[in-house]
Structures are given as C-alpha cells and as structure tokens.
C-alpha cells in the first residue's frame, strides 16, 4: 500500500560543472567543498529538511562516487527515514533499454516510478548548484494560495547580468506570461532560481508528452515551462529576497566563499533556527600557534596554524606552517602549506601540498595587464615542489605534474 506524502523534492545533481575545471575533475559539482565545512549540496538539502520535506531524490550521473558516499544514508541531514528519506537516483537499465539522463526533464521522467511511490500532491524540483537559504514551505503555501500549476522562485538580478539567466516576465498578480532562457535582450530582470514547485499530476502529463517528442531537448527551461505557458497553464513567480549565488565558475565560487567573511552579506550560517547540516569532520578544535596571525577568516576543526591567514576560508585539517602567508584564498581539507610559501587569490583543493617558498597567485594590483589576472587553482592531491611558482589564472592538475 502506498503511504501518501503531500510533497517530495527532486534534486538535480547531475551536472558536470565543467566551468569549475580541475575542481570537478573527479567530483560532481554539488559535492564541491564550500564555506569551511560544507559542500554545495548541503544548502539545498538543509533547506529541504528545514522546510519540512522528508523525502528527497538526488539525481546524479556525473562522477557520483564521492557524492554518493557523502550523502550515505542521509543521517547528517536527518534524512535517514523509515518511510522516505534521501535516495540517490542514478540512471539504470530498464526492460526497454537504458539511457543516461538526457536533460533535466528526462531525469525526472526516468524516475516517475520513484515519485509515484509516494503519491505526492506536489513536487519541488531543485538544483544542487546554489548557495542560499530558502523556506520552500512558504513557497508551497504561495503555490496553493495562487492555485497554480507551477511556481517558479525568482530573484531580482542586475540588468547587465540578466542575459545569463532564465528570465521571467510576470504580471502584477505574479502570473508568468513569458519565460526566456538566457535571452540576449532581457525584458525583465527577474531571474529563475532553478527552484520549481509543480502540481505533480500536471508535471507528469507534460513530462510524458515531452518524452514522446523526438526533437525535444528534454529540459525544464527549454521545453516543459514553455509548453505549459503555451497551453495556458497557471505559472506564477514566487519572489525571493536574500542571498542566492550560483557557484558554477571559479570566480563565483571564490566570491561566494569570500562573502562569508563580509559582515554586510546577508548569509548567516550561525542560525540555530535554520541550521545548515553537513557531514562533520571528527577532529579536535583548530589550533592557532604562538607566532600566528589570523584575521578576517573562517577556520574549521583540525587546522594547525603557525603562519599568517587573512581574508581566507580554511577547511578541516589544513596546516599553515610558520612563515607561510595565505591571503584572499580558499584552502580545502587536509592541505598543507609549507613554511615561506605565499598563497594569494587562490583556490587550493583537497590534500594538496604546497612546498616551501612556493608562490601561488598574485594580488590584482601586482599584475600589469589586468587580463592576465585571475584566481589560481590547484587541483586535489597536487604536490608542488619547493619554490614553484603558480601564476594568477593558472590551473594545476595533480595528474599533470607541475612544470
């Protein structure tokens, strides 16, 4: 017998995140570390739990190993339930053949059986690529109050950036009359956040129709939303105010981390009423040594700091040796920065060793030609020999040993 759930969430975590380059070489984008102890997906998962959603399907297909292991049975997010809970859904073989997920809509379509197992009234379709704190329950209330078929969360973005997003035009009653995916000449600056609530029966109908269309790209933004609009279904825009950031590029990942150090940015992680859950490292508190100098920083458990850290985010178990300097950088778990090394404007991934007196990255004002400047990135597991120099914008891949 099916035990009904009012709503469940489907979390799209299949993207490769190719614009994060070496950081997502062996890792799905939602599993990329963020903010000293989190991974990107922790925000969406915590939002679900804090909004009262107890059943989440996570759709993965790109490099799912580390993500699957991280999610495990969902216990850190309180999603280890006897009915519902978190499920990692990878593409699987069926009697009629097998297929990768071909687009976001196809990914949901391939898991219709999973969804029907809970017989939900509503379904939240979310992406695991953003940093934000949002109460989906309020959005569901809005969806019900508007008697909508689909509700899309929207945020106001600067006009000059509007062409990077799915842009929505809505009337004063929030009803959407136009949706344009990355338009060249945006008609509004309301961007879709990639957070949807659908009445499940409606969505199912459109997914099935879309599947029958051989030429469709099987994507929510390109097919499903435009088709629903064309049929005169009721689509409404739910306005969201607060911090929301796509961390799909090196620059935006760096910025999103630095935002945590800015007291003016409205992203409070120390909030007992809206905790962001994550798998916790089993490590002692971090230690700051006799000659260390730490300011404007976020530092996780298990770090040992003997050098200088300024405007930086350090993940669990990082060692900064005496005389090493880390500024405006993100250092991921287990990395060691040896004495005399200077790391500036850089993202250093997990378990890297930066040898003595290495120079990684530069301050923008130190670079003559502004086009040559960018965040330096060191991929997971890389070992830099003493005295190596990594230029701004350069990326080091552990498998291709440094030049």
Partner 1 sequence: MQDRKKILGIIFSNMHDEMLRELTEKRTMASVPFGGRYRFIDFTLSSLVNSNIQSVGVITKSNYQSLMDHLGSGREWDLARKREGLYILPPFGNAGVSGIYRGRIEALAGIMGFIKHSDARYVVLADCDTICNYNIKTILNEHIEKEAEITAVYQRKELNAQNCRDATVFSCNESGRITDVMINPGIQGECNVSLNLMIMEKALLERLVTENMSRNLFSMEKDVLQAKASAMRLYGYEYKGFCAKIDSMRDYFDANMMMLNKEVRDELFINNGPIYTKVRDDMPAKYGLNSKVTNSLIADGCMIEGEVENSVLFRGVTVGKGAKISNSIIMQDTSIGEKSVLNYCITDKDVTIKDNRMLMGYLSYPVFISKASVV
Q: Which of 249, 296, 339, 394 binds partner 1 (CB under 8 A)?
A: 296
73 forms part of the interface with partner 1 (CB under 8 A)? no
122 is in an annotated binding site: no
What is the residue whose two structure tokens read 């292991």?
69
Q: Which token pair is 322?
A: 């005496």
Stretch that binds partner 1, among 121-129, 170-178, 285-293, 337-345 (CB under 8 A): 285-293
Contact 17, 129 (CB under 8 A): yes
CB of 313 to partner 1, least distance (A): 8
Scanning 118-199, the segments in alpha helix (DSSP H) are 136-145
x-marked contacts with partner 1 along 16-35 as a string, rule CB under 8 A: -------------------x
* CA–CA distance, 249 with 268 (Å, rounded to integer): 23
| Residue number, 269 or 367, with CB nearest to partner 1 | 269
276 binds partner 1 (CB under 8 A): yes
What 8-state DSSP symbol labels residue 334?
T
In angstroms, the CA 379 to CA 399 distance is 9
Binding residues for partner 1, rule CB under 8 A, total: 37
Binding segment (CB under 8 A) for partner 1, from list 243-251, 275-283, 352-360, 381-389: 275-283
83, 113, 212, 270: residue in contact with partner 1 (rule CB under 8 A): 270
Is 259 near partner 1 (CB under 8 A)?
no
229 binds partner 1, rule: CB under 8 A: no
Q: Which is nearer to partner 1, 229 or 261 (CB)?
A: 261
Q: Output the CA angle 353-255-243, nearest 5 degrees.
A: 135
Smaller CB separation from partner 1, 141 or 268: 268
**Nearest CB to partner 1, comparing residues 50 and 104:** 50
Give the list of residues 6+ apart from residue 193 with CB closer than 8 angstroms, or none.
130, 132, 152, 153, 154, 155, 240, 244
* 163 assigned ligand-binding residue: no
Q: Does 131 bind partner 1 (CB under 8 A)?
A: no
Closer residue to partner 1 (CB): 163 or 304: 304
Candidates 290, 368, 371, 403; binder of partner 1 (CB under 8 A) is 290
Examine residue 287 and tell whether it contacts partner 1 (CB under 8 A): yes
Least distance in angstroms from the C-beta of 261 to partner 1? 8
* Residue 192 known to bind ligand: yes
Rounded to a whole number of angstroms, the minimum distance from the CB of residue 292 to partner 1 is: 6
Where residue 260 falls (left for φ over 0; alpha for ψ -120 to 50; beta otherwise) is alpha
CB 236 within 8 A of CB 142: yes
Among 88, 278, 354, 390, binds partner 1 (CB under 8 A): 278
Asked if residues 194 and 127 have their Cβ atoms less than 8 Å apart, the reply is yes
Query: 57 near 9, Cβ under 8 Å?
Result: yes
320 binds partner 1 (CB under 8 A): no
| CA–CA separation, 72 and 78 (whole Å) | 12
- Nearest CA among 2, 210, 4, 5 for reference residue 108: 210
Residues facing residue 193 across a β-bridge:
none
Residue partners of 133: CB distance under 8 A and separation at least 6: 43, 46, 47, 242, 243, 267, 271, 274, 276
Contact residues toward partner 1 (CB under 8 A) are 35-37, 75-76, 260-261, 269-270, 275-278, 280, 282-301, 304, 313-314
Q: Which residues are annotated as a binding site for alpha-D-glucose 1-phosphate?
A: 101, 166, 181-182, 192
């Amino acid at each position: 017998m099916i035990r009904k759930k009012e709503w469940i969430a489907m979390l799209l975590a299949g993207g490769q995140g190719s614009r994060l380059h070496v950081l997502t070489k062996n890792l799905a984008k939602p599993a990329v570390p963020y903010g000293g102890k989190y991974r990107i997906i922790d925000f969406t998962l915590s939002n679900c739990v804090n909004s009262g959603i107890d059943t989440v399907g996570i759709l993965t297909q790109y490099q799912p190993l580390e993500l699957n292991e991280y999610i495990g049975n969902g216990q850190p997010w309180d999603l280890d339930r006897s009915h519902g809970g978190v499920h990692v859904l990878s593409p699987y073989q069926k009697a009629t053949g097998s297929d990768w997920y071909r687009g976001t809509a196809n990914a949901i379509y391939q898991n219709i059986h999973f969804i029907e197992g809970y017989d939900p009234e509503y379904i939240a379709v979310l992406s695991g690529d953003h940093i934000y704190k949002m109460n989906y329950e309020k959005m569901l209330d809005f969806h019900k109050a508007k008697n909508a078929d689909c509700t899309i969360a929207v945020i106001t973005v600067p006009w000059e950036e509007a062409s990077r997003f799915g842009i929505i035009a809505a009337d004063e009653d929030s009803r959407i009359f136009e949706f344009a995916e990355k338009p060249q000449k945006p008609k509004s600056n309301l961007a879709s956040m990639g957070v949807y609530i659908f009445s499940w029966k409606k969505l199912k109908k459109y997914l099935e129709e879309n599947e029958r269309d051989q030429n469709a790209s099987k994507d929510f933004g390109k097919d499903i939303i435009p088709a629903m609009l064309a049929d005169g279904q009721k689509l409404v825009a739910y306005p969201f105010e607060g911090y929301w950031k796509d961390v799909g590029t090196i620059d935006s990942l760096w910025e999103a981390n630095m935002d945590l150090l800015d007291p003016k940015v409205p992203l409070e992680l120390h909030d007992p009423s809206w905790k962001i859950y994550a798998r916790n490292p089993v490590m002692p508190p971090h230690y700051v040594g006799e000659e260390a100098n730490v300011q404007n920083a976020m530092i996780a458990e298990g770090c040992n700091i003997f050098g200088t850290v300024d405007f930086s985010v350090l993940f669990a178990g990082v060692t900064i040796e005496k005389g090493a300097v880390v500024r405006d950088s993100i250092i991921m778990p287990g990395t060691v920065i040896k004495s005399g090394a200077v790391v500036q404007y850089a993202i250093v991934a997990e378990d890297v060793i930066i040898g003595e007196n290495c120079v990684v990255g530069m301050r923008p004002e130190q670079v003559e030609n502004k086009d040559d400047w960018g965040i330096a990135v060191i991929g997971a597991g890389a070992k830099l020999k003493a005295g190596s120099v990594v230029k701004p914008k350069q990326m080091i891949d552990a498998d291709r040993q440094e030049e």
